Each structure stands twice: as C-alpha cells, then as structure tokens.
Amino acid sequence: MHLVLFALLLLPVQSSATKIEFVNFLIPSGEGGGWDTTAREAGDALLASNLIKKVNYENLVGAGGGRAIIDIVEHPDRHTDTLMVQSTPLLLRRLTGTIKYGFRDITPVSIMITEYQAVAVPFDSKYQSINELVDSIRMSPAKHPIIGGSSYGSLDHISIELIAKAADLPSGSIRYIASDGGGEAMHLLEQGYGTALVSGIGEMLDAYQAGKIRILGVTSPARLPELPEVKTFIEQGIDVEFANWRGFFASPTISRKKLVHWRWMLEQLNDTETWHDVRRQHFWSEKFLHGDEMIKFLEQQEKQLKIALDQLKL
C-alpha cells in the first residue's frame, strides 16, 4: 500500500483541464489557530482564484490533532474529497507515541508555507524581554506556567523547551499548559492561566496588532521585515532558530487522478498573487514542496526532531 502511494507521489504535476468541484478541509483543531487559519485562507484563496467551486471546513478537535489523523486513516471512505492540513506535530505525535499513525499512513500532497515560533506575554505584563522571563522561571518555575497551542510533547512544547535549554534553565523548569490550538491558547493567556504564551507568530498577530500582547522573541535567524521591532532570541543571547511547516495531506486511498489534480491545484494556488498576499499578511514564508522532495523533507525533519526529543528527554 505504502509503496504504491509513494510511487504516485513521484509522478510529475500535470496541468488539469478538469476544474475541481469541491474540497473539504479537515482541520485537526478548533477555530483560530494556525491549522485553522491556513486551511481557511487556502480555501478562500482557491475560491477567489477560481480553482475550485465549493469548499467546506471541518474542525475535528481532539488528541492534540491526533483525532483527525485517526479518522482519515481508519475511515478513508469519509474523506474522498478531503485535504487535511498538517504541520510539524504530525511527525512529533508519531515520535512521542501519542498516536500510532504518521505521514507514511496518509498521502502527502503539498507543503505550502513555513512559520516561525514566538513567545508573548500580556501587554500589561512586567516582562519586557525574554531574559527577564527566563530569570523569573529560573527562580520560581512552578509560578510561571507557559501556555502552548498544542499538546504535551508537541510543537509548541518542544519550542519552549529548546528555548529553555538554550537559556541554560535546569531540566524540568518549564511548566507547560497544553491546549487545542492557538485560539484557545490565546484565550487562556487572556484569562490569566499562564505567564506567557508560545505559538506560531501568525497566530499572535491579531492580538499583537490590537495591543493585547507583547512579543518577547521570535525563532527566526534575523528580525522579520514585517515586525522590525520584535527581537530574535538569537540577538538576546538565546541561540534558537526554528520554523514550523504547514501543508496538506489526503487519505491513504486517494485515487491517482485526484492526487494529480490536487497537486496541480495547489501548485497553481502557490503562484497566485492572492496567495502571495495571504503569506505576507500572516508573515508566512514560501516553502512549496511535493512528491519526492516533500517525502525527503519529512524524513529529514523526522530525524532532526527525534534527536531534539532525545536531548530534551520528552
């Protein structure tokens, strides 16, 4: 089964004269997070670019995103028209044993973007820099919980642990509070359930632009042109650089014809000015991969994440 699927992925993307009628976007979290935003922006851009005629968004929350993967693998007949949005946690959940399925059990279609991680606090917080927050965590770890937009052992958790390790915090210093998406995580921060929030930079933009939060650092190698006032962790003496990818996957029983059409559709989307505008709006970087390149990238990421998990003992 897997050999057949991977052989399909190596086929060249072909132009399609047949317009795709309908796409159901399966979103592994609630509304307002990175997965949700990526899927809805992609669907809206596909409609605006006349690449599809109808779109539906299905939020299937649970198991830190694992419920959606389980559903598409175990009930592929329900997902003949489904594109599931996924990201780095797809690899992490498999590595940590949270669920038994990974990218080899579904059909990779295309990776579309990458996004950097960031740490933020409420705007009225006393913390003005990441080092001030780190010092407080060092003195009283239990009193300074960090909220993340994903489950324990997933992307946001690993991001804050990597930051803590680079800042020379003792092992076990991070009291991590998990949630089902960036929207819920932001709500928890606003309600005072944590000292700070770790999530994708795009998931913080609305709150940041509304003056509700202060971003203490971003995991990019240099300051983002769109946010020149936000410092990187590197320039604050914390040597961390990390980016999260997002893309789309289909059921393990997808037909050859539909796979070729979807890959063509997403390649066309990637070249539209509409999608370029979406990326700029959310501070996403372009990373379009499919076929053999996508498989190699996922395999490489998996190896790197396993090393990080072993080092962090998660």
Q: What is the pLDDT of residues 280-305, one digit of tens each?
A: 999 999 999 999 999 999 999 999 89
Find, among 72, 69, 107, the residue nearest to 90 by Cα.
69
The span from the CA of 18 to the CA of 22, in Å, is 12
The span from the CA of 209 to the CA of 211, in Å, is 5
What pLDDT score does 46 carry? 98
What pLDDT score does 160 carry? 95
Give the mean model confidence (pLDDT) for residues 209-234.
95
What pLDDT score does 11 carry? 46
Mind listing the pLDDT tens digit for each residue in 7-23?
444 444 444 445 678 99
Percent of the chain with pLDDT over 70: 94
What pLDDT score does 20 carry? 79
Mind listing the pLDDT tens digit for each residue in 245-267?
999 999 999 999 999 999 999 99
What pLDDT score does 16 carry? 45
What pLDDT score does 18 carry? 57
Q: What is the mean pLDDT of the chain?
A: 91
The domain spans of the chain are 2-114+243-312, 116-236
Mean pLDDT lowest for which of 144-148, 182-186, 198-202, 218-222?
Answer: 182-186
Between residues 76 and 32, which one has the greater pLDDT?
A: 76
What pLDDT score does 6 carry? 43
Judged on CB neighbours under 10 Å (0-12, 13-18, 19+), 91 is buried
What pLDDT score does 19 carry? 67
Identify the DSSP state of 105: G
Domain 2-114+243-312 top-level CATH class? alpha beta
What pLDDT score does 13 carry? 44
Find, among 116, 47, 44, the residue nearest to 278 by Cα.
44
Q: Would you state the structure tokens that stand for residue 208, as one six-digit string?
A: 């940041």
What pLDDT score does 9 carry? 44
Percent of the chain with pLDDT over 90: 77
Mind listing the pLDDT tens digit for each residue in 182-210?
888 999 999 999 999 999 998 899 999 99
Give the mean model confidence (pLDDT) for residues 87-108.
93
32 confidence band (pLDDT: 50, 70, 90): confident
Alpha helices in the chain (DSSP H): 2-9, 34-48, 66-74, 89-96, 130-139, 155-166, 182-190, 201-209, 256-270, 273-282, 291-312
Give the mean model confidence (pLDDT) for residues 37-55.
97
Instruction: Give the homologous superfamily in CATH for domain 116-236.
Output: Periplasmic binding protein-like II (3.40.190.10)
Give the mean model confidence (pLDDT) for residues 71-84.
98
Fold agreement between 2-114+243-312 and 116-236: yes
